[in-house]
Each structure stands twice: as structure tokens, then as C-alpha cells.
Chains A and B, each alone.
Chain A
């Protein structure tokens, strides 16, 4: 008999399709797991609505659950429940080690341009805050591109959502 704990462990082994060092559980997209009568119900809260990795994540979750001998029911929750604040402390550290600056905490009123253009963001390589915004958008919608004036290295900054 599959337990919720076993499902969480299995899901925690699935890497993010675009940033493999971090798992989808570290990313915070699994909102809940319940098991009843051999069916595993997963509440999956997407990151960005246009993210092409969503289908991959959903299929991988379903695949892992089948491997555990249970029937998957992955429900996509289209509301505001995912936030970059849901990325776990371990996940944030893995991002930083991989050269991605983790997102700043969510603030009331949402992000402001003046803030993105400020020097509040830390370079993931050298830790300097002498960094500037190069582009609000980056290789994927969830990231911006910044440049560190101290170590002269461009880097990807997670957007706060």
C-alpha cells in the first residue's frame, strides 16, 4: 500500500526539467498529496502559465506514481497558490550553487521597476551587490538577466512571483 510519505519521496526525486539541480518538490509546485483506494491525488500548482515544462512535470509525476503501483490523478491548480516563496531553503541553496540567484521574497504591492534597477540583488558567484539589470526577461520567463560589476559576470536572477 502506497503511503503519502512514499509519494513525496518519489516526487522529490524528479528534477526540474529546465534546472535539473533542483527537484520539483524543492520548487514548491506540489501543493498536496492524498492517497485513497490505490489512487494518488496530487495538487500541482504551476510556476508560469506559459511554461513549456509543465506538461513534462505532470507526466513525470504520473509516471513515478505508476511505478509505485498506484493510479495517478494529477490535478493542475490554476490559481495564485504558487509563489517563488514556496521554493524550499535547500532549493534556494541549490539554485545559488548552480549560478542562479534565488528570488527575493514576495512583497505587498508586487515588484517595482525601480527595485529591479536598484543594487539590492546579490551576485551568486562573488556575493557582491554591485549588480545591474540587463534584461527583465531571460532564457525562460521565470528569470531575468543581471550583470555583476564586481566579478564582471552576467547571471540569471529568478523573478519574484
Chain B
């Protein structure tokens, strides 16, 4: 696994964590407010740990990778860039599709020859198990709802797409990096 591939996974986790956090305070009910906030926190934690691995190899820092690149340098997929608030059916559809694809990717990393990558992937997988159970619970609840089925069909082809960023990614990047750009070199 080379640094660029790990960076793509870290970017997916960071951006999806950011999108999930957009439900904090406005989810359809309190349990999901808590759940999506926790999932977002975990995903951003995974991104940080992956950035640390990549940063050690590239001679930079996790923060610089997360916040100091230009929008076009991020390698995340369009799938995680989509801003889905306030569409709950689509949000759950993305959650189910992402956790499924992410599981396969993490399991591959666990088999990596690099012990640091394999060790971190094993740790990430133990946390992701709870995201998958949460997605499974929602899948079972919504699987017969036409709105949810349509959302799955619409989003499924996007899971593997990479390349151009969506226009809404630029807005996310502006917001995500705003504080850091406003006070260059500050420590917190």
C-alpha cells in the first residue's frame, strides 16, 4: 500500500466524518444525533491516525495533510463529498454503502505486509464494527421503504468513482480549513 492510496482512504474518512457531523443537532431524533456525532468523531480519528502514518513517510504532519492542501490535492471520492442534509434516506443509504465498501478495504489493509498499516487497520476495524451494526440496524428498518431503495440505486454507482471534485466539496474545504488559514502558524 503506497502513501497515495492510504491518503485517499484518510481523505474519505475525514470528509465523510465532516459530512456526518453536519447532522449534529438536527438529526431526526436524539439517538441519531448521538450516533452520527460519534460515528463522525470515529471517522475523523481514523483519518488522523492514517494521516500520521502517511505524514511520517512524506516528512510532514497530519494537520498539514488534513488542512493545508489545495482542494484539488484531496483524493476523496465524490461519494463522500455529497452534501445530503436534510435527506435522511440518502444519508442512511450512503452510510450502508460506505460501511460495506470500507469493510472490504480495511480487511485488505489488515493483510498488508507493512506491520504499521496492518496494526492500525486492525484497530480501525474494531471500531468500524459498531458503525456496521448501526448501518445494518437501519438497513433492516428501511429496506422496504421505496425512498430508501431509490437512494441506494442512485448512490451505488458512485461508491468507486474518484476524480473531479463536486462543486460542494469546495464549500466544505473553505469551511473546514477556514480557522487554520485565518491564523497561519497558530498552535491551539
Binding site for B on A (CB under 8 A): 48-52, 78-83, 110-113, 116, 134-141, 145, 159, 161
Contact = CB atoms under 8 A, between A and B. Distances in A.
Contacts of B133: 111-113, 116, 136
A141 B42 contact: yes
Contacts of B42: 48-50, 141
B119 A78 contact: yes
B72 to A, nearest CB: 27
B123 A80 contact: yes
| Secondary structure class of chain B's binding surface, majority of residues | helix
Contacts of A140: 38
Interface of B: 31, 34-35, 37-39, 41-46, 48-49, 52-53, 115-116, 119-120, 122-127, 129-130, 133-134, 136-137
Contacts of B122: 79-80
A48 B123 CA distance: 9
Contacts of B37: 137
B46 A137 contact: no
Contacts of A139: 34
B52 A78 contact: yes
A140 B116 CA distance: 26
A147 B81 CA distance: 36
Nearest to B42: A50
Contact of B44 (A50, A78, A110, A136): A50
